[in-house]
Amino acid sequence: MGAKRQPRTDDSDEALILQSVERFLEREVRPVAHQLEAADEYPAGIVEKLKKLGLFGATIAQEYGGLGLSAVTYARICELTSAVWMSVAGLFNSHLIMAAAVQRFGSEEQKRKYLPRFASGELRGGVALTEPDCGTDLQAVRTHARRDGGHYIVNGAKTWITNGAEGGILAVLVKTDLHANPPHRGMSLLLVEKGPGFKVARKLPKMGYRGIDTAELVFEDCKVPAANLIGAEDGRGLQQVLNGLELGRINVAARGAGLARACLDEALRYAQTRKTFGKPIAEHQAIQIKLADMATRVEAARLLVDSAARAYDAGRRCDMEAGMAKLFATEAALENSLEAMRIHGAYGYSKEFNIERYYRDAPLLAIGEGTNELQRIIIARELVKRHPA
């Protein structure tokens, strides 16, 4: 599916980029993450520094001002970032799914108009798919766009939209034909910039994944230029979204691997300093078993993420690989966060330590970019398709 993508990085490029990201995370993110997360404060200062690093253009082609990174390198950046503060990875993930849709399916005029501004971070946003009565079943969306001369008139509501409040543009999944059968033939993807008729109803409070904005949006007779339709014709929106979600699921899987690693690192460190019955708890078999399982999950998650990212870079259809990576790595994050809390005991339950943040962040990963139940269905269907009896 699709031609092989041409990432710009070789091993030395990748090493330099990852070193720069690591330095940035240690200097600019780790010192403030605990405070910003606790206050649920939007990390505006970090956003400005992400712009300078070029991460809003991580996977955008160089000809449009981006870094042109491979999915492999991008996944490693997401892992590193999530091991420090997962919310930061969300600032550019949804944004880059939107950019990927424009880069792969948009007109040359759209690419020239938007991609350089996306890459610089001047214009940031994401994708608006989920609705109050529609999550996993995207064909059930109700937001409607009616063609009126040179414009579409958009009406409807979206919810749980990352970058919906702080961003300036969204790729919005809409119905352009309410009577299409099957429904996906009547679905389109529109680039909607903020303006009249585009309202942020509220920011949604969350258990975890704090700091980054997640919003409920309302469109009331929102006028969008017809030139902002992604693709040459109506009715291709669902396929465009599903294609972009491959990269999104690789990102979420990489976040899971990073979070699982953060849990392991802190549990391993604590287990060697905390003593009970006259010795470090790392010398107790019960703790050793937990640490061994945690480490194995991290390594397996990384390998699955790398496999999915390499398939994506090769231009192969990788919904099964991305689904496997997303399923395993996010479950690894969930399990490791719980085990890290148990190893830390009461300290793991305290807001003074990072462990309780990891424990609150991890469940989102099993839900976002398609629930893990859906991933199992996708994996099974693709297995049967690839291996017919």
pLDDT, tens digit, for every residue of 217-256? 999 999 999 999 999 889 999 989 888 888 889 999 999 9
Q: What is the pLDDT of residue 1?
A: 39
**Distance between CA atoms of 389 and 387, rounded to whole angstroms?**
6
How much is the average pLDDT of 278-285? 96
CA distances from 40 to 36, 47, 87, 207, 350 (A): 6, 15, 10, 10, 17
Q: Cα 138–81–55 angle (5° rounding)?
A: 75
Give the C-alpha distances (Å, rounded to integers) separating 25 from 29, 120, 173, 225: 5, 19, 33, 39
Strands 151-162 and 214-225: antiparallel
Q: What pLDDT is stored for residue 366 in this prediction?
A: 96
Which range among 66-75, 94-103, 131-140, 166-175 shows the weakest confidence by mean pLDDT? 131-140
Structure confidence by residue, pLDDT tens digits, 163-222: 999 999 999 999 999 999 898 899 999 999 999 999 999 999 999 999 999 999 999 999
Query: What pLDDT does residue 10 have?
Result: 60
Query: What is the crossing angle of helices 319-344 and 237-273, to 10°?
Result: 30
pLDDT-based confidence at residue 296 (cuts at 50, 70, 90): very high
With CA atoms as reference, report the closest residue to 327 among 365, 271, 286, 279.
365
Would you state the structure tokens that stand for residue 334, as one six-digit string?
């969930």
Q: Tokens at residue 371, please?
A: 């629930």
241 vs 366: which has the higher pLDDT? 366
Q: Per DSSP, which regions of 163-300 are E strands?
A: 169-175, 187-193, 198-203, 214-225, 275-276, 279-280
Instruction: With a cut of 70, say whether residue 385 has pLDDT above it.
Output: yes
Band of residue 5 on the pLDDT scale cut at 50, 70, 90:
low
The answer, yes or no, to whether residue 8 has pLDDT greater than 60, is: no
| Cα dihedral 345, 349, 351, 354 sign | positive
Residue 2 has pLDDT above 80, yes or no: no
Q: Is the pLDDT of residue 9 over 60?
A: no
To 5 degrees, how large is the angle CA 130–CA 335–CA 321?
55
65 secondary structure, DSSP code: T
Query: Using 50, 70 and 90 to split pLDDT, how confident is the model at 7?
Result: low
Q: Are 133 and 183 in contact (CB under 8 A)?
A: no
Q: Say if CB 296 and CB 260 are below 8 A apart.
A: no
How much is the pLDDT for 161?
96
pLDDT at 75: 97
Residue 370 has φ and ψ, to the nearest 5°, of 95, 120
Residue 174 in contact with residue 193, Cβ under 8 Å? no
pLDDT value at residue 246: 87
Mean pLDDT over the full length of the chain: 94
Cα–Cα distance for residue pair 1/207, rounded to 1 Å: 38
Distant-in-sequence, close-in-space partners of 259: CB < 8 Å, separation ≥ 6: 82, 83, 86, 333, 336, 337, 358, 361, 362, 365
State what percent of residues in the chain have pLDDT above 70: 97
Residue 386 pLDDT: 94
pTM for the structure as a whole: 0.92
Find the mean pLDDT for residues 39-44. 95
pLDDT recorded at residue 3: 46
Query: Which sequence positions are flagged as catalytic?
Result: 369
pLDDT at 317 > cutoff 90: no
Q: What percent of the chain has pLDDT over 90?
A: 87
CA–CA separation, 346 and 343 (whole Å): 9
Helices (H) and strands (E) in the chain, counts: 11, 9
pLDDT tens readout for residues 107-156 = 999 999 999 999 999 999 999 999 998 877 888 899 999 999 999 999 99
